[in-house]
Amino acid sequence: MKLPVLPTEKSFASPLHHPRVATVIGRWLGIAVTICFLTGLFSHFQQVTPGWLHIPSRPSSLYRVTQGLHVLTGTVSVPLLLAKLWTVYPKLFAKLPWPPSRKALGMVFERLSIAVLVAAMALELFIGFLNTLQWYPWPFPFKETHYALAWIIVGALLVHLAVKLPLITANWRRTPADRTPVPTTTDSLPPAITGLSRRGLFRTVAGAGALIGITSVGQSVPAFGPVAVLAPRKPNVGPQGLPVNRTAKDAGVSAVDADWRVTVMGPQQLSYSLDQLRELPQNRSALPIACVEGWSQGAHWEGIRIRDLLKLCGAPEGSRLRVVSMEKGGFYATSELPAQFAEDPLTLLALRLNGSELALDHGFPARIIAPNRPGVLQTKWVHRLEVIT
């Protein structure tokens, strides 16, 4: 019986498995991953703010832009990563030098670092994508895992770039070979599977990335709404023209009765019924809800400025505010407004949305809306505000 012959690196005849191709697609992937990482860091620090960091409350739509970019670059990274892996996979079959030498040891370490990089990136993109669908079929916490994987990717990527630097610099510039269609047959090799030139491949990959980007970005860029067939959310579909991430029913919150009151706990303790809240000076803010999952939508809000409430209860300047929802338990039942957000005149305890009273699913009777913040911190069904000095 004839033993099957294992392929070697040379068995993969397409000249598109070339370091120049890996360099060009790697560059695009590098740009996407860098934007995705930095915007992801910003989102993480919004939710878990280190002591040294001061996040400004303006521009008011900053988080809408950064998180839209985060999900967009993550999504576009999927076809780029697949193309990059296709370009380099014959390397998996490269023979290690035998007998083992220092060089072989180096190659083993390099392959291990690439295995870590590829596994971490594949997992990161996979759980990130499932998160945009609000599907969490795993036992680990999403936010912490997504964040830890990001640092593993950055570390493994730096090792990868350092190892490949000579190859990257040698293939950085365009060459005439990029334009030449690849021959479909050669004398010494089996027929190649493609007649595509490198340039043709670049255009195909860029086209795939652009198509996926354009058909998903409509969840945060209204102009692309009509073609957003890949977007899990349509930003204008929902009660009062705004999507709902977690309904009142899911959060275990039911409509309130006439006894409902909101309490402000500061140097003085205040308590308001809904009618009393309506009699306080009302202000308007045009602010988006920008969900970490990538969808966002602008809206018109009306309610009481948080800074007015802080003054009324005698809170000193620079006070922070803990916001407590009627929702029992759950990650989003409380949030904290740092001083710069609490003081911003756009930050409201909102009672109205897009011209009518808040729908129960949008946080009736009262919710927080603040500029430049992730949706998860825009607490709904507010019940108590606690001043922290």
User: Which stretches of the chain bind Mo ion, using CB under 5 A?
Assistant: 245, 291, 375-376
Q: Please give the Cα distance from 61 to 289 (Å, whole number).
A: 9
Q: What share of the chain is helix, strand, coil (3-state, %, to 5)?
A: 45, 15, 40
CB of 381 to ligand MTE, least distance (A): 5
Q: By CB under 6 A, what part of segment 348-377 binds ligand MTE? A: 362-363, 375-376
The answer to the question of residue 44 lying near ligand MTE (CB under 6 A) is: no
Q: Please give the Cα distance from 320 to 340 (Å, whole number).
A: 8
**Angle at CA of residue 303, ends 300 and 307, nearest 5°:** 115
Distances (CA, A) of 6 to 9, 10, 75, 358: 10, 11, 35, 66
Residue 340 contact partner, candidates ligand MTE, Mo ion, none, CB within 5 to 8 A by sort of partner: none
* Helix-then-strand count for the chain, H and E: 8, 10
- Choice from 248, 346, 379, 383 touching ligand MTE (CB under 6 A): 379
Residue 28 contact partner, candidates Mo ion, ligand MTE, none, CB within 5 to 8 A by sort of partner: none
In the numeric block, the tokens 């392959």 are attached to 111
Residue 277 contact partner, candidates Mo ion, ligand MTE, none, CB within 5 to 8 A by sort of partner: none
**Residue 319 Cα to chain centre, angstroms:** 30
- Is 121 or 377 the residue whose CB approaches Mo ion more closely? 377
Residue 378 contact partner, candidates ligand MTE, Mo ion, none, CB within 5 to 8 A by sort of partner: ligand MTE
Look up residue 318 and give its two tokens: 């620079």
Q: Please give the Cα distance from 93 to 56 (Å, whole number).
A: 51
- Choice from 20, 233, 373, 380 touching ligand MTE (CB under 6 A): 380
Element (H, E) at 352: strand 348-353
Look up residue 8 and give its two tokens: 């070697």
Q: Please give the Cα distance from 299 to 246 (Å, whole number).
A: 18
Return the DSSP state at 336: E
Site size toward ligand MTE (CB under 6 A) is 20
CB of 77 to Mo ion, least distance (A): 21
CB 196 within 8 A of CB 181: yes
The answer to the question of residue 60 lying near ligand MTE (CB under 6 A) is: no
Residue 325 contact partner, candidates Mo ion, ligand MTE, none, CB within 5 to 8 A by sort of partner: ligand MTE
In the numeric block, the tokens 């009777």 are attached to 365
Q: Quick one: angle between helices 198-214 and 62-88, nearest 10? A: 150
Q: By CB under 6 A, what part of segment 222-251 binds ligand MTE? A: 242-246, 251
CB of 45 to Mo ion, least distance (A): 17
Q: Which stretch binds ligand MTE (CB under 6 A): 69-77, 165-173, 178-186, 378-386?
A: 378-386
Q: By CB under 6 A, what part of segment 304-343 binds ligand MTE? A: 325, 327, 332-333
CB of 295 to ligand MTE, least distance (A): 8
Dihedral class, residue 4 (left if φ above 0, else alpha if ψ from -120 to 50, else beta)? beta
Q: By CB under 6 A, what part of segment 274-293 binds ligand MTE? A: 289, 291
CB of 291 to Mo ion, least distance (A): 3
- Is 212 or 346 the residue whose CB approaches ligand MTE more closely? 346
Return the DSSP state at 238: S
Q: Which residues would be at the binding site for ligand MTE (CB under 6 A)?
A: 242-246, 251, 289, 291, 325, 327, 332-333, 362-363, 375-376, 378-381
